[in-house]
Structure 1
């Protein structure tokens, strides 16, 4: 008999976190689940820990494969998922015991193709809930799914621009469950991070949401997102991030062209490109980048003078920002390398002290 929910967990060298993650999955109030653990060529004790856990709980299915990255692991999980709904969990995170019962119940009641919850960021010493500033439950149907959710996944417009930290808050796959047929019927897969650098979640969701006729947001933080893992995919220095993000933008633009979406979708992508100068800058000044200050500034000068980025800033509305962000993005717009660099240093310092 097929399970109600398949939960896919990509695993690579996370022996410190596996027990915490799987304990939260094994103790779900919804018992009708399968847990697909995709070991992506781990070289630590991850696989042996998985085998011990699988002996305790037959719902755990282990797939052992050569290392190919998180997208490859998730895609392998998708090929083996048999549930009516599919969810994703990262192995250094954990979930509330009611998460999958609550989300699947809402999906069944609302006949929803995708259900999303909010989440809590876990920093080791403290926690912070992501505040979406929305009611307890919001339902989007038919064209609303495209105009509200799909467009937001592409990028922010109007007042949304004022909060750069929300750029990809809607784009995570681990905060959602998907009706399996949405994924399977449309042959949805994750793009390789070696090609696009990051945001494989958002790109996957852009395609999934396009094919969805109903989307429900539940304002309960069922998911715990661990931010203290320095070895995760989202930490570290990526030397070719700009080139990879341009490939990401090209995928999004091709998608917009293919489906002949409205002008505001292109404005949203334009705004994403501008706001992503923050990510490019923080990546450049990362402590993991051992280059000199002079070389870091040269890298910043390179991407601020890129024709695509310069063109995007010509149409970028700075009036929506608070004074601090307005100054920051103005420095990017006028290509003030020194000012941009030292503002980044200040932002990075604040991130560490206020997070």
Structure 2
């Protein structure tokens, strides 16, 4: 192709002035790095332009695949081709080298894996001269060669106005929102020079077109859009930066570069900043959505810090956002964990939230040695928190402290807590970013000073003599945990009709010996079908929790299932009283009545895994294993029930990792679970998580099978079958 090209090229007319040619009307900048497979098609399409008075600036960053040699062959045949060697592998740096070398009145850009229509630059240049435009842009094709050469038109400017000169900053800002596609335009060099527009010189090709696009749209006074498709943008180059999901902060780097530009040009910032923040969110959201799961939290946290600052400074204009997007931005700025939970690809890729968001001790209780610490995690319960606190502060037992953790409430809850803390010295007040009930309870445990601790939800209450009754009994018997009962109150008759389970859910009407081991009480409650998982039904010796390093599993719901199991089983001295100490409120919007979603399934799955790990670490106890397997069975039934109530099950399932999905399928569908691709299945089954998951589905099946075998055939037959299976398993 290169050999015959010189015969086809038309020479550019020149006038000699002191030995130099006159400046061309347009300079085409073509940055390259290892695009040997595409470079000839690209350069030839530029050399064939019907606008001949151009210079072609090929800026190569040290290609090693033959790219440079192919460009050199073009330069030997066509004097318009100039080669510039870049000592840095940076798209922005290469483009700036081209800008510095360019002599044309206008600047065009061609990516060296693309190609262009023969009349692209002539059409755009003529339009620029006719309308005295400083920017001219057109539409383009999506080009691929994977299944034969295909060019599909993409109308990037569909929502803009064609053929009319306008100022993007003041007349119509739609063009800001289009894909940058800077190679689908030409730009007056004087405008770029006078306004100080340069490319951001970050390493590699990392979306540097974004800040350039924004700067050009900001300063342009006369922009013109053509309703033509003149550029062929290659979509199937695997090396293109748009496909790199590992470049986490490249887009934010460009936003920061543009923000520095606005700081240097305050006349533009005043006009456009509120609009820009809405645009910035859309760019950030796009980048966040393309990232790998393991990188999403890191970028989301940057999004949060920047939009939280804008939120607090009053810079966000609600009129610049749709109602849906404003809700998203509000959540991002004020409750980032909730935003991440709603939008992430795989939730288990999250970090430990408490390591990122530190709690703040606002008020410390003045009671030095409280007998009981009542822990109250609080989120948006302004209508109930006063009644809850009154039920604790008015206890007949005065040596009680209340540890309140405001979990990022957005209503008037914090004002109420502050007022209570000012008038009662027994209140410790802690504030944290919204992270969920588990993290709030753990924060309270770190600050609690009581000999014993109780947990109380911020819409529930305690019987006024509860702390006194429980403390004296626990002290008398030297208990690790003392369990008690509760009663439910319904806000409406409809709730009572729809949730009858809660009427008696917190009652255990049974005679319990004065002191048992936790294991024995667990077995007793399981046998009576009255094992309860709520931590709000126990008084816990704080030293006991610390000795066993018991905390709540953070980042999940249904964490009570795990907490209750790991607190009751190791305990050596526990008991139960029938007193109905807890007054549980059943209301709309509480954790008991809320619409089921991904978090419910995920929380159960995590509890299954963690309980299994915990039980595996205990000495073998057949009776206990049987009871625990029954409890695991019960959790799996709850999972199936919740799954049936989830509105969008497909969106829910996507948030699980591949290993988690395999376990989930096994629980939800059993033998009818969807089949995995052989390779994926092999990798999953080899993982530790899968082997642990297999354990908690194995135990219930095998134990139930053994029990049935014993009931139907007797002990001798059951033992013989067991030995046969062992021999078959191990080949002897």
The two structures share one fold, judged by TM-score above 0.5: yes
1:27 matched to 2:48? The reply is: yes
Match of 2:186 among 150, 168, 177: 177
Does the 8 Å contact 2:91/2:208 carry over to 1?
no
Match of 1:252 among 249, 258, 265: 258
| Counterpart for residue 38 of structure 1 | 59
Q: What is the CA deviation profile of residues 240-273 of structure 1, one whole-angstrom value per residue up to 9, with x for unaligned ones?
A: 41xx544433333344443234766222222123
> Deviations along 1:85-133, whole A, 9 cap, x unmatched?
2101100011110101101111111121111111112243444322223
Q: Which residue of 2 aligns with 1:269?
A: 276
> Residue 115 of structure 1 aligns with which residue?
136
Q: Which position in structure 1 is the counterpart of 2:343?
A: 340
Q: Does 1:308 align with 2:329?
A: no
Q: Which among 226, 231, 235 is matched to residue 218 of structure 1?
A: 226
Q: Note the 1:1-355 alignment, pairs <5 A.
A: 1-124=22-145, 125=147, 126-131=150-155, 132-133=157-158, 137-141=162-166, 144-148=167-171, 151-152=173-174, 167-169=177-179, 171-194=180-203, 198-241=206-249, 244-257=250-263, 258-261=265-268, 265-285=272-292, 295-296=294-295, 298-299=297-298, 302-303=301-302, 306-310=304-308, 317-319=321-323, 335-342=338-345
Q: CA deviation at 1:5?
A: 1.3
CA distance in 2, matches of 1:203, 1:252: 5
CA contact (8 A) 1:256 1:265 kept: no
Deviation at 1:69, TM superposition (A): 0.9
- Distance in 1 between residues matched to 2:72 and 2:37, nearest whole Å: 15
Measure, in 2, the Cα distance between the counterparts of 1:53 and 1:224.
Answer: 21
Partner of 1:163: none
Distance 1:42 1:340, change over 3 A: same
Q: Which moved more, 1:227-236 or 1:216-225?
A: 227-236
Rg larger in 1 or in 2?
2
Match of 2:5 in 1: none
Contact 1:134–1:219 (8 Å) recurs in 2? no
Deviation at 1:43, TM superposition (A): 1.8
Task: Say which SS state the counterpart of residue 337 (structure 1) adopts.
Answer: helix
Find the aligned partners of 2:40 and 2:344 in 1 and give their Cα distance: 41
Change (3 A) 1:77 1:270: same
Secondary structure at the aligned position of 2:183 is classed as coil
Q: CA deviation at 1:186?
A: 3.7
Query: Which ranges in structure 2 are unaligned for 5 or more consecutive residues?
Result: 1-21, 346-650, 655-732
Deviations 1:125-158 (A, max 9, x none): 44432222368833234xx342146x456x5xxx
Distance 1:312 1:127, change over 3 A: farther
CA RMSD for the aligned pairs? 3.3
CA shift, 1:220, in A, is 0.5
Q: Secondary structure at the match of 1:147?
A: coil
SS in 1 for 2:136: strand
Secondary structure of 2:243 counterpart: coil
What is the distance in 2 between the residues matched to 1:225 and 1:152? 22
Q: Which moved more, 1:244-253 or 1:57-66?
A: 244-253
- Whether the 8 Å CA contact 1:318–1:329 is kept in 2: the answer is no
In the TM superposition, residue 181 of structure 1 has moved relative to its aligned partner by: 1.8
Deviation at 1:187, TM superposition (A): 4.0
Relative to structure 1, the CA distance from residue 301 to residue 147 in structure 2 (aligned partners, 3 Å threshold; closer, same or farther) is closer
Mean CA deviation greater in 311-320 or 120-129: 311-320
CA shift in 2, pair 1:138/1:319, >3 Å: farther
Whole-angstrom CA distance in 2 between matches of 1:205 and 1:178: 11
Query: Hey, what's the Cα distance between the residues in 1 that align with 2:76 and 2:30?
Result: 17
Whether the 8 Å CA contact 1:42–1:67 is kept in 2: the answer is no
The Cα shift of 1:345 comes to 10
Compared CA separation, residues 206 and 252, structure 1 to 2 (3 A): same
SS at match of 2:127: helix
Helix, strand or coil at the partner of 2:344: helix
Q: Per the alignment, do residues 16 and 25 of structure 1 end up closer, same or farther by CA in structure 2, a change over 3 Å counting?
A: same
What residue in structure 1 maps to residue 410 of structure 2? Answer: none
CA offsets, 1:261-287, max 9 Å, x none? 4766222222123223433323422xx
Q: Note if contact 2:245-2:291 (Cα within 8 Å) is conserved in structure 1.
A: yes
